[in-house]
Structure 1
Amino acid sequence: MKISLDWLRTLIPTDKPAEEIGKLLTGSGLEVEGIEELESVPGGLRGLVLGTVLTCEKHPDADKLSLTTVDVGDAVPRQIVCGAANVRAGLKVVVALEGAELHPTEGQPFKIKKSKIRGAASEGMICAEDEIGLGTSHAGIMELDTELPNGTPAAEYFGLGSDSVFEIGLTPNRADAASHYGVARELRALLRQPCHLPDISQFHAPAEAAQNISVEIEDAEASPRYAGLLLENVHVGPSPEWLQRRLRSIGLSPINNVVDVTNFVLHELGQPLHAFDADQITGGKIRVKRAEAGEKFTTLDGLERTLKPEDLVIADANGAPMALAGVFGGKTSGVSDQTTRIFLESAYFQPAAVRKSGQVHQLKTDASFRFERGTDPHMVPVALKRAALLLQEVAGATVAAPVVDVYPTHIGHMPVRLRLPRVEKLVGQFIAPERIRQILTDLDILIAEELTDEAGHAEWILSVPPHKVDVTREADVIEEILRIYGYNHVALRPHNSASFLAKFPNPDPEIIRQNTARLLSGQGFSEIITNSITNSLYFQKEGETDETLVPLLNFNSADLNVMRPTMLHSGLEVIRYNVNRRQRDLKLYEFGKTYHRLADGAYQENNKLVIYITGNSYAETWQQKSEKATYHQLAGAVQQVLASLGFPSPTSQPVQHPYLAGGLTLLAQNQPVAQLGAVSNAVLKRLDVSQPVWYAELDWDWLMRKYKNTLVGRELPKFPEVRRDLSLVVDKTVTFDQLQQIARRTEKKLLQSLNVFDIYEGENLGADKKSYSVSFLLQDPTQTLTDQAIDGVMQRLIQQFEKQAGALIRK
C-alpha cells in the first residue's frame, strides 16, 4: 500500500521528516518497507533560482548572442551569455547556477558548468521552460512576473514540492489503516496531534426531487448499508493536474474525472465507491440481491462471467446485474464519455460475501481488497458527500436528489471488557491508567463504564468503533495499547529468558524447539519457513490419493490448493529457487505442520522437523578440494538432535518412505521417530531440482511427548580407556547398526563406544561380502583394566559376532 506524505499532511499537519514518520509507523505495526522520493519535475529544479537581468549587450563576437549581467542574490552579479531573442535588461528570469543539473522536456539531462562562449565567460544559464522540464515551448527564455527577491529557489516560485511515498506492508488485520485517513489516525495517537476528515460542510442536497433512484436491499446480512446519490450535468473528461498528481504519487494512472474522484476518495478515506451511468439503470431502481445460478454478466474488462447463487450483485429493477458487489462493475452500466447523469454508490458489504465472489471469479481490485478486510460502515455517507463535492469541482456536477441511505442492519460499537491488571501481565510492565486512557481516546476507543472487581482491581467496559475490525477481545485492546505505548519502551528483565532447560515435569516445548534450532544453526544449517499450502499435482502420481489430501474450498491459485501432507516439496521449492541462482551448497531445516484427512473424514495435524542437505559439504580451498554432501552428514545431524532430546542411541531399519530412494528409519522405544535418506529422482524431476538432496523428517509431536531432560553432570574418569580394533567380514546385508546392537547387548558395563573407521569390499572377499573395521573403547570407572579383563570382553564380542551375524574375524 502506498501512502503519500504530502497527501497525508492535508489530514494531519506535521512537519516531521519522512524518515521519522516511517520509524513511528513501523514501530506501531504498520511496517514501512521503503520510502520513495517523488518530484513534480525531474531534478526538482535544484540549483535554479530567480534573478533579474541588470544589463544586456550584444556579444562582441556573435550576432545572435547577448552578453548579460544577472543579479541572483549574490554580492556580485553574474555574467551569462544568452542566445534568446527576448532577453533584455530589467527582465525577471530563471537562472541555472553552476553545478545545477537540468532535465529538459526532450533529450538527456545535462549539467551547467562555468565556460567560455565565443571568448566570453558565462557563469550560468538563463532558462526557457522546455530546458527545465516545465513545458515544451522554446520560443524564448521565461519572463516572470513576481516580487520575490533574487536568489529565491525556482521550485518555491512554481510551487513545486517534492513528495515522499511510503510503501507500507499492510497486514490483513489492519483494515483500519488501509487509507490516508487511516494512517493519519494512527499518527494522531503516535504524535498526539489532531487529525481531521476532509470538510464536507458545503455539501447540500435538495429536500426532494422530481425523480430519484430508489434502493432495495434484499439481503441485509450481506449488505447491511447501501447509500447512493444522483448527480446531473456531469461533464466526463480529464481530471485537473492536482488530482492526477495525487493519483500518480501512489502509482495509479488517471482515467477520467469521475473514475479518478472515486479512486481518490477510496485511497483518502478507505471507502470504495462506484459510479453508475444513471440512464442505464432500468426502472430507476437499485436492487442489492443474490445472483441467479448460471446467470451471465459482462464485467468492465469485457469478459462474460457465469454467476453463482452466493454472488452478491447490484441489479436494476428487472434484476439484471449491473455490478458484482464490492468487486467489479459491469460493462453496460459503467460511466462513458457520453454519460451526463451518474448514480454514485457508497456501501458497506459483509467481508465474507465479497471475498467469496472475488475468489470464485479470480478478481482482485482495490475495492475488494478493502471490503474483504472490513470497511467502516460509518464512513459510507461521509465518502459519498466528499466525492459529490469533488465532482462538482472537477466535473461540473450538480446534486439532483436527496441522499438515499438504506441501513436496515445497524452496526454499532462493540463492548469489550479491559482489566487493568491484565494489561501489566500481558505487557510485562506497569502502564499508568491515565496513559492507557489517553491511548484509548486517541484510538477512538471510548470508556463506557468504569468498574471494580471483587479483588478491588479496576476494569473498564470499552466501546470499540466498527472500523477497528480486529479489536474484539481484551487481548486485542492490550495489543493496541502496547503498539502506541511502544514496544521499545518495555524494558527487558533478566528472568524473561534462560539459556538452559530446567528439569520440570512439563518442559516448555517452545524452549526445546529454540534449543534444537540453535543446535542445528550451530552446525551451519539455516532455518526456513515455507507455505503450508501446496500444489495437489505433486501428489497425483506419488502414492497420495484424493481422500488423504486436505483441499482448500476457496483457493486463490491452482498451484496452492491443498494443505501439505509432507514438508518435503515446499523445502524442495526453496532449494530449486536457490540452485537456479547459483546457490548450490545448502543446509536447511524447518519446523512446521503436515495435514491429512483420515478415513472417517476427520482431519489431523502433525508437527515435524525436517532437514535438508544438498551440494557440497564445504567450499573448495587451497588446502582441500570440495566434497559432496553425504548421507552420513545428515544422519549425524539427526542423531545429535535425538541425543539432545534424550534419545542418544536409536535403532534403525530400512526406510519405507514414498519419496525416498533408500535410507533408514530410526526408532526410539520401538517407535519410528525419524526417516532419512536420498530424495528419489522422480520427486526431484517433478520439482525441477537438478542435484541430489538428502532429506530427514522427524516426528516432533512424539519427541515432545517423550522428551527426556537427561543431561547429568558427572566426575571425569580417573582411570584410562583402552581401545581395541576388530576387522569383521560379514554378508553385505548386515548393517553396522546390527553389529552395534550385538556389541551393546554382549557388554553393557565396560563398552563405552564403538565406531566403524573403514569399510572394504573386493573380489578377494567374495561378491556378497564386505569388511567392517571397528574400534571399541573400553573403560572401568572404578579401576584400571587388566589385559585379562580386556581379552575376556573381546572374546565374548567375537563369539557373539560369529554366532549372531555370521562374522569372520580377519587376522
Structure 2
Amino acid sequence: MKISYNWLKQFIQTDQTPQELSLILTNIGLEVESLDTVQAVAGGLEGLTIGQVLTCVQHPNADRLRVTTVDVGAEAPLQIVCGAPNVAAGQKVVVATVGTTVYPNEGEPFKINKSKIRGEASEGMICAEDEIGLGVSHDGIMVLPEDTQIGQTAKSYFKLEDDYLFEIGLTPNRADAASHLGVARDLAAYFKSKIEMPDIAAFKTDNESLKIEVEVKDAVACPRYSSVSISGVTVKTSPDWLQDKLKVIGIRPINNIVDITNYVLHDLGVPLHAFDADQITGGKVIVQKCAEGTPFVTLDGVERKLSAEDLMICNAEKPMCIAGVFGGKDSGVSENTRNIFLESAYFNSVSVRKTAKRHGLKTDASFRFERGTDPEMTVVALKRAALLIQELAGGTIAAEVSDIYPEKIAPFQVEVSYNNINKLIGAQIPDAEIKSIITALDIKVLAETENGLDLEVPRYRVDVTRECDITEEVLRIYGYNNIEIPSKINASLSYSTKPNKEQTQHVIADMLTANGFLEIWCNSLTKGAYAKNPDEAVQILNPLSSDLNVMRQGLLMPALESVAYNQNRKTADIKFYEFGKTYHLINEKYVERPRLLILLSGAYQPEQWNQKGGSVSFYHLKAAVDAVINRLGIGTYQTEELQDENFAYGLKYFRGDKTMVSFGAATAADKKQADVDKDVFYADFDWALLLDLVRKNKIVNKEVSKYPAVRRDLSMLVDTAVTFDALKTIAFKTEKKLIKNIQVFDVYVGDKLPEGKKSYALNFTLQDEDQTLTDKQIDAVMQKIIINLAQSANAEIRK
C-alpha cells in the first residue's frame, strides 16, 4: 500500500518528519517496508535560479544565437549564449548555472559546464519549460512575470515541494488502512488528535434534469447502492496538482473524471465508478445477476462469459459493469462524454472475491471490496467526487443523491473487561488509559462499569469483533515496546504422554541435518492434477489459483517441484527431508495423516580433487531409511519388495499389516509432471505409525558383560539358493543364549566349486553373561550348529 506523506497531512496535522512517522506507523502495526523521496519534477529544480536578462545582442559568428548577460543575484552578471527565438532584454527567466544538472522531458540528464559556443563564453543556460520538466513546450524560453524576484530559487518560485512515499506492508485484516484516511485514523489515535475530513458542505442539487432510476434486485450481494447524476461535464486532462497526487503513489493519470474516482479511492478508501449516462439504455440502472454464459466485454477489450453468480450493474437491456471488479468497454467515460452517472456502493466481500477470482481480475476496487469497505462512507465519497467533478470538469448536479440502503448494517457490539485486557497484554495499564485509547480509535463507549466497557465498533473495522481484537488494538496503540519483560516467570509442570512428538521429530530432524539433509516446507495446497485418487481429493471451495486448488495427498509432488526449482538454478545435488501432513476425503470425512519424506537426487557428495562425487542410488536412500528406523529403536520388522504405482521399484518395511515406510525410485511420470529430468529416490514414512511403535517400545538397561566374547569362523559349501538369512535363522534356533551376533565375511562363486554351489564364510560371536566360556562349551555349541546346518541347509563344512 503506497501512502504519500504530503497527502497524509491533509487529514492530520503533524510536525513529525517522514522518518519519525515511518517508525511510529511500524510500531502501531502498519509496517513501513520502505520510505522513498519522490520529486514532483525530476531533479527537483535543484540549482535553477530566477534571473533577469540585462542585455541581448546578436552572436557575431551565428545568425540563430544571441549573446546575453543575465543577473541572477550574484556579484556579477553571467554571460550566456542562447538560441531561443524569443529571448529579449528585460525578461525574467529561469537560469541553470554552471554545475547544475538539468533533467529534460526527453533524453538523459546533462550537466551545465562553462564553455565557448562559436567563440563566445557561456556560463549557463536560459531554460525552456520542457528542458527542466515543467511542461512540453519548446517554442522558446520560459518568460516569467515582470514582478518576479530575481535571485530566488526556481524550486521556491514554483512552490515545488518534495514528497515522501511510505510503502506499507498491509496485512489482509487491515482493509480499513487501505487509504490515506485509514492510515491517518491510526496516527490520530496514536497522537490523540482529530481527523480533518474533506468539506462536502457545498454539495447541492442544481436541478432534476438527469434523473436515472436505480433498482437493486440482490440486496444480499449489494446491501447499499448510492448514486448521483452530473450533466454538462467536459472530459479533459487533469490539473497538475491532481496528476502529481496520483503519480506519487504510482497511478497513471487518464482524464479528469477517471482521475477523480481514483483520487477519492486512495483518499477515502471508497471505490467509485463513473458511467457515461448517455449509454444507460432506458434511463435505468439495475443491480442484478445475469444468466449463465452471458457475454460481456470488459474495459480491457476481453469478452468474458458471465457466471450466474456474478453481480452486474446493468441498464435496461444489457450489463454495463462487473460490480466491484471491472467496468465495461461501452459504458465507460470517454472524451465525448458529457453526462455522468456516478456510483458509490457497498458490495458483499465474498461475492466480489469469488467473481474476481472466477475471471482472474485484480483491481484496486476489488482489492478493497474483497476485504471489506465502510458502508457508512458511500454518500460522503459520492459527494466528495461530485464536488471535484464540478470543480475540474464543470457541469451541474442534475439529480438528488439516490441512496438505496434497505437494512442498515449494524456496528459490532463488544464487551470487554479491563482485567482480561491486562491479563492478555501481560501488563497493568490504567483503566483510564485503556478507555482513552479505545475512544481515540473511533470506538464508541455505550456503557461503562467498574469491570469493563460495552463498545460499539465502527463497520469499517471489519477485523475487530471480539474482546481479544479490542485488546490487540489497545496494545498496538499503547506500544509493544512499552510492555516490560517480567522479572519473574511463572510456569506449571504438566504430564505429557510418551514419546514427546515434537522432541522425537527434532531428534530425527537433527540426525538428518547432521548427515547433510536440508529441511523443506512445501505448501499444503497444490495442483488437482497431482491427486493420485481424485475421489479422495480435498477440494478448495474458493482457490487462490488453479495451481492451488486441492490439499496435497502426498509429500512427493511438492518436493519434486522444489527439486526442479533448485536444479533449474544449477543446484543439482539434492538431499531433502520434510515433516508434513497429507489430506484425504474418506467416507465424507476429512483425514489428516502426518508423514515424513526423505528425498535424494544428483550426486551424493561433492566431487573433489581426490575423489569422484558419484550419483545417489537406491542404497544411499536405504542407508538413510535404516538410520531413521534404528534411531527410533523400532526393533524387528519385515521387509518386502515394493509393488506400488508411486514407485518405479523399491522396498517396504512393515510390521504386521501396517507399512512403516515405502522407499525407492520415483516414477518417470511423476518426474515428468514436475519437470525433473534426473533420477530421484525417496522414502515415504508413516510418521504416526512410527510414533506409535516408539511409544510401545520398552527401554531396558543392562550392564555391559564383564566376561569376554569369543569369535569362531565357519566356512561351508551350500546350494546357491540358500541365503545368509536362512543360515542365520538356523544358527539362532540352535543356540539362543550364547550366540550374540552372526556376520558373513566372505562369499565365493566360481569354477573351482561344484556346479550349483557357493561358499559362505560366517563369523559367530559367543558370550555368556554369567561366566567365562570354556573351549569345551564353545566346541559343543559349534558342533551343534554344524550338525543343524548340515541337516537343515545341506551345508558342507570346509576344513
Name the TM tier (shorter chain). Answer: 0.7 to 0.9
Q: What does 1:421-460 correspond to in 2, within 5 Å?
A: 421-451=419-449, 458-460=451-453
Indicate which of 358, 364, 377 corresponds to 1:379.
Answer: 377
Alpha carbons of 1:32 and 1:424: their partners in 2 closer, same or farther (altered >3 Å)?
same
Q: Which amino acid aligns with 2:473?
A: E
Indicate which of 645, 654, 660 corresponds to 2:641.
Answer: 654
> What SS does the aligned partner of 1:353 have?
helix
Q: 2:473 — aligned with what?
A: 480
Q: What does 1:183-262 correspond to in 2, within 5 Å?
A: 183-205=183-205, 209=208, 212-262=211-261
Q: CA deviation at 1:721?
A: 9.0
Q: 1:461 — aligned with what?
A: 454
Q: CA deviation at 1:146?
A: 8.5
Q: 1:369 — aligned with what?
A: 367
TM-superposition CA deviations, 1:751-787 (whole Å, max 9, x none) = 9999999999999999999999999999999999999
Q: 2:602 — aligned with what?
A: 615
Q: CA deviation at 1:228?
A: 0.9
Q: 1:410 — aligned with what?
A: 408
Q: Given the alignment of the two structures, is residue 566 of structure 1 paired with residue 554 of structure 2, yes or no?
A: yes
Q: CA deviation at 1:229?
A: 0.8
Q: Given the alignment of the two structures, is residue 311 of structure 1 paired with residue 310 of structure 2, yes or no?
A: yes
Alpha carbons of 1:132 and 1:215: their partners in 2 closer, same or farther (altered >3 Å)?
closer
Contact 2:81 2:117 in 1 (8 A): no
The alignment's TM-score, normalised by the length of structure 2, stands at 0.83
Q: 2:42 — aligned with what?
A: 42
Indicate which of 566, 574, 592 corresponds to 1:578.
Answer: 566
Q: CA deviation at 1:381?
A: 1.0
Contact 2:91 2:146 in 1 (8 A): no
Q: 2:584 — aligned with what?
A: 596
Indicate which of 320, 323, 348 corresponds to 2:321.
Answer: 323
Q: CA deviation at 1:240?
A: 2.0
TM-superposition CA deviations, 1:698-737 (whole Å, max 9, x none) = 3344455666499999899696997969899999999999
Between structure 1 and structure 2, the one with the greater Rg is: 2
CA distance in 2, matches of 1:400, 1:209: 5
The alignment's TM-score, normalised by the length of structure 1, stands at 0.82
Structure 1 stretch 298-307 or stretch 358-367: which is displaced more?
298-307
CA distance in 2, matches of 1:495, 1:761: 74
CA distance in 2, matches of 1:611, 1:261: 57
CA distance in 2, matches of 1:497, 1:757: 60
CA distance in 2, matches of 1:113, 1:29: 49
The unaligned stretches of length 5 or more in structure 2 are none
Q: Which amino acid aligns with 1:260?
A: D
CA distance in 1, matches of 2:766, 2:93: 98
Contact 2:82 2:126 in 1 (8 A): no
CA distance in 2, matches of 1:37, 1:570: 42
Q: CA deviation at 1:407?
A: 0.9
> What SS does the aligned partner of 2:536 have?
coil
Indicate which of 515, 521, 532 corresponds to 1:529.
Answer: 521
Contact 2:705 2:769 in 1 (8 A): yes
Structure 1 stretch 79-88 or stretch 379-388: which is displaced more?
79-88
Q: CA deviation at 1:172?
A: 2.7
Contact 1:78 1:123 in 2 (8 A): no
CA distance in 1, matches of 2:725, 2:43: 73
Indicate which of 681, 693, 710 corresponds to 2:668.
Answer: 681
CA distance in 2, matches of 1:122, 1:732: 104
Q: 2:396 — aligned with what?
A: 398
Q: 2:276 — aligned with what?
A: 277
Structure 1 stretch 64-73 or stretch 249-258: which is displaced more?
64-73
Q: CA deviation at 1:69?
A: 7.4
Q: Given the alignment of the two structures, is residue 606 of structure 1 paired with residue 593 of structure 2, yes or no?
A: yes
Q: What does 1:467-506 correspond to in 2, within 5 Å?
A: 467-490=460-483, 504-505=496-497
CA distance in 2, matches of 1:222, 1:180: 27
Contact 1:647 1:668 in 2 (8 A): no
Structure 1 stretch 354-363 or stretch 80-89: which is displaced more?
80-89
Say how many residue pairs are matched.
Answer: 795
Contact 1:659 1:679 in 2 (8 A): yes
Alpha carbons of 1:694 and 1:16: their partners in 2 closer, same or farther (altered >3 Å)?
farther
CA distance in 2, matches of 1:80, 1:758: 102
CA distance in 2, matches of 1:615, 1:580: 13
Q: Which amino acid aligns with 2:539?
A: P
Q: What does 1:87-236 correspond to in 2, within 5 Å?
A: 93-97=93-97, 99-113=99-113, 125-138=125-138, 141-145=141-145, 152-205=152-205, 209=208, 212-236=211-235
Q: CA deviation at 1:320?
A: 3.9
CA distance in 1, matches of 2:96, 2:768: 92
Q: CA deviation at 1:4?
A: 2.9
Q: CA deviation at 1:570?
A: 1.5
CA distance in 2, matches of 1:491, 1:645: 42
Q: CA deviation at 1:463?
A: 1.8
TM-superposition CA deviations, 1:130-166 (whole Å, max 9, x none) = 4333344556554445888877543333233333334
Structure 1 stretch 190-199 or stretch 470-479: which is displaced more?
190-199
TM-superposition CA deviations, 1:319-347 (whole Å, max 9, x none) = 64333322233344333333222221111
Contact 1:51 1:92 in 2 (8 A): yes
Contact 2:180 2:267 in 1 (8 A): yes
Q: 1:455 — aligned with what?
A: none
Q: Given the alignment of the two structures, is residue 389 of structure 1 paired with residue 382 of structure 2, yes or no?
A: no
CA distance in 1, matches of 2:279, 2:722: 84
CA distance in 1, matches of 2:477, 2:788: 72
Contact 2:634 2:693 in 1 (8 A): no
TM-superposition CA deviations, 1:505-533 (whole Å, max 9, x none) = 37775566566555544544444333333
Structure 1 stretch 571-580 or stretch 161-170: which is displaced more?
161-170
Alpha carbons of 1:281 and 1:27: their partners in 2 closer, same or farther (altered >3 Å)?
same
Alpha carbons of 1:132 and 1:802: their partners in 2 closer, same or farther (altered >3 Å)?
farther
Q: CA deviation at 1:203?
A: 1.8
Alpha carbons of 1:272 and 1:106: their partners in 2 closer, same or farther (altered >3 Å)?
closer
CA distance in 2, matches of 1:441, 1:795: 95
